[in-house]
Chain A
Amino acid sequence: MTAVIETHSLTKVFGRRTVVDAVDLTVKRGEVYGFLGPNGAGKTTTLRMLLGLLASDGGSASVLGFDCTKQGPQLRRLVGYVSQLYSLYLDLTVEQNLLFFGRMYGLHNDRLRDRVAAEMARFQLESEGHALVGSLPTGTQRRCSLAAALLHQPKLLILDEPTSGMDTISRREFWAFLGGLVAADTTVILTTHHLEEVQVCDRLCLILGGRLRFEGTPQGMVEAFPGPVLLISTNQVKSAHQILKERYGASLLGNRVRVQRQGVDRDEVVATLREAGIAEASVGAVAATLEDAFVRAAGS
């Protein structure tokens, strides 16, 4: 597979703060690629540099064969972007929005009308064509923003937290839809805070404090931060939580305490609790999830 995005030592400095620090990324053609990291980690700054909207202060980046710093306008014609806020005009109808965005992407006349009709059909928006976007439910607005981003048939689609607030069935439908796009040779990059679903990404990267902490498959990320997660049941949950929180950053899960810190084993937890006068506690182990790997990486 050829690379759609390639960066070498990509760097951005704001004042004295290095917000993107020598990041090397490779996104291959036709994959779903997850872009992970806490708020403020440098994800958006990186994306803005990749789109040529922000000049880098070091390193290089190419997207779809274009140099991001010099050829921003050319490459942006081949990219679709859906922000968290959907960026639609609420006082225009669905059809007016799509016609407007189509023109922005350089579509005109018959071609524009054909593309708008095709996307309205694909996203089941025909019956809402004349409704003001502001009057429609969130789910419909979401479909409309996706339709707008796909009008010019981009080679690369960037989605910022596309499933935030979506229910389970809608999420399943959405992932199936994305799968169809990549099968048709579009590359998809998405950011999300909901890690259980990123498992279906082909690959992902984790950015922490401006640095690339991991790049690889979801399974690879779990394996990069190995070891089980411990679940502790005791009739002194409150004090156990207090002690284990101070010592290992444990959290409460219902009436059990959860220790996810890497390298902490059952014997150590039992000893710590016993020291604190909690003799009766059962400690079980469950497999670490992608979310655990994320928290482990952020804490290390």
Chain B
Amino acid sequence: MSGTLARAALIKLRDVTVRHGRTVALDHATVTVKAGDSVAVLGPDGAGKSTLLRCLAGLVRPSSGKVESHLGDAGIGYAGSTFDLYGDLTVLENLSFFGRVRGMEREKLAERIEAMLSLTNLKGARDRLAGRLSGGMKKGLALGCALVHEPALLLLDEPTVGVDPVSRQELWDIIAQATAGGTALVFTSTYLEEAAHASRLLAMEHGRASETSSDRVIAACRDWSAWVVPVAEERTEVRARLAAVTHEPRVYLRPEGLTVLAVDEPGARELLATTVGAGFAGAALEQSAPTFEDAFVLLESGKASEPAAGAA
């Protein structure tokens, strides 16, 4: 894209490390977020996703390294994974409070509150206590509170966790509308399919962050295949065997059947034999491409490695 070079950097983490006691939550992370970026931060539990976000939000001070940004508090909107709302205040009072702590002027705030109520479909609920809202509505309000002061950078920690599919879609729609004007977005998720809402992908593991893309994740596993054995009556037996090897994420049951991730057919048969047993090693195998989730699992579990930058 021609506009990429011209876009201004909003915030830069340079070689940032965050330690909590003896734990290294963020390990020499270098990340730049530019205006208009939409970044998904993916990775296993404890990889440092929330710490990275809190660091960008200025809520965590780095143990070493530098955070460079001219945004200040007024330029950043942050919503944590738990609802950071006041349950005893109404929807309106919550929005008003979050605007006022950001130093917004009365008139501007009134205007923005109305905009947020209509953006988050909460117009009819303005006088309801935040604590009494449904999960989806709470998430919507938290989003409104993070956006009320028109930040240039929106940070969302697991914005859709625990929300039903209909509300989840509505939330993503609100986020898309809110960022359509160029607001940069960084969000964490444990659901890989949500990466589709991002233009950039940041994979995290053990506190380290690396830039990647879904194409690169899949390219990293281009030598791998998903080998599928249809399972019918043996389902109970297969389940019993798989329960004994839960540490092996390369073998799992999916609707199409028992699935094995391996580089070649002999490898797949060997893995079948050592996990579910020799009885399945001779079965007919159907070859297909690994899914994005398969590829991610291979990378996360250290079975496949990503090519060096530029190689993919």
Please report A residues at the B interface, Cβ cutoff 8 Å. Answer: 30, 37-40, 84, 137-139, 161, 164-170, 172-173, 175-177, 179-184, 193-196, 199-200, 218-219, 238, 241, 245, 251-255, 291, 294-295, 298-299
Q: Which of B120-168 contact A (CB under 8 A)?
A: 134-136, 158, 161-168
Distance of A196 Cα from B165 Cα, bound (Å): 11
B240 with A170: CB separation less than 8 A: no
Which of A38, A137, A218, A252 is within 8 Å of B176, CB to CB? A252
Report the nearest B residue to A163, measured CB to CB.
B190
Which of B136, B165, B173, B254 is within 8 Å of A199, CB to CB? B254
Distance of A35 Cα from B172 Cα, bound (Å): 24
Distance of A180 Cα from B238 Cα, bound (Å): 9
Distance from A23 Cβ to chain B, minimum over Cβ atoms (Å): 18
A176 with B242: CB separation less than 8 A: yes
B288 contacts chain A at the CB level, 8 A cutoff: no
B243 with A165: CB separation less than 8 A: no
B172 with A252: CB separation less than 8 A: yes
Distance of A172 Cα from B260 Cα, bound (Å): 13
A138 with B252: CB separation less than 8 A: no
A38 with B46: CB separation less than 8 A: no
A40 with B165: CB separation less than 8 A: no
B247 with A254: CB separation less than 8 A: no
A169 with B172: CB separation less than 8 A: no
B162 with A254: CB separation less than 8 A: no
A38 with B44: CB separation less than 8 A: no
Interface size on B, residues (CB 8 A): 54
Which of A165, A184, A238, A255 is within 8 Å of B161, CB to CB? A165
Which of A30, A219, A251: most chain B CB closer than 10 A? A251
Distance of A175 Cα from B238 Cα, bound (Å): 12
Distance from A169 Cβ to chain B, minimum over Cβ atoms (Å): 5
* Residues of chain A contacted by B136 (CB below 8 angstroms): 39
Known contacts: A183-B237, A200-B253. The answer to whether A238 contacts B180 by CB under 8 A is yes
Which of A39, A138, A182 is within 8 Å of B236, CB to CB? A182
B44 with A200: CB separation less than 8 A: no
Distance of A295 Cα from B237 Cα, bound (Å): 34
B43 contacts chain A at the CB level, 8 A cutoff: yes
B63 contacts chain A at the CB level, 8 A cutoff: no
Distance of A199 Cα from B291 Cα, bound (Å): 15
B78 contacts chain A at the CB level, 8 A cutoff: no
* Residues of chain B contacted by A291 (CB below 8 angstroms): 165
Which of B38, B166, B240, B245 is within 8 Å of A295, CB to CB? B166
B279 contacts chain A at the CB level, 8 A cutoff: no
Report the nearest A residue to B237, measured CB to CB.
A183
Query: Which of B2-10, B25-33, B67-75, B192-200 contacts the other chain?
Result: B192-200
9 tightest CB-CB pairs across the interface, nearest first? A180-B243, A179-B239, A183-B240, A252-B176, A167-B44, A38-B164, A183-B239, A173-B246, A176-B246
A193 with B243: CB separation less than 8 A: no
Known contacts: A137-B46, A193-B164, A254-B198. The answer to whether A180 contacts B244 by CB under 8 A is yes
Which of B45, B135, B164, B249: most chain A CB closer than 10 A? B164
* Residues of chain B contacted by A218 (CB below 8 angstroms): 255
Distance of A164 Cα from B82 Cα, bound (Å): 13
A295 with B169: CB separation less than 8 A: yes
A-B contact pairs, 7 of them (CB 8 A): A38-B166, A167-B45, A168-B293, A199-B254, A252-B176, A253-B197, A255-B199
* B180-213 interface bits toward A, Cβ cutoff 8 Å, 1 = contact, 0 = none: 1000000000111100111100000000000000
B300 contacts chain A at the CB level, 8 A cutoff: yes
Distance from A198 Cβ to chain B, minimum over Cβ atoms (Å): 10
13 other A-B residue contacts (CB within 8 Å) besides A200-B254, A252-B172: A38-B164, A139-B46, A161-B162, A168-B296, A172-B297, A173-B246, A177-B246, A179-B239, A182-B236, A193-B162, A218-B255, A254-B196, A254-B197
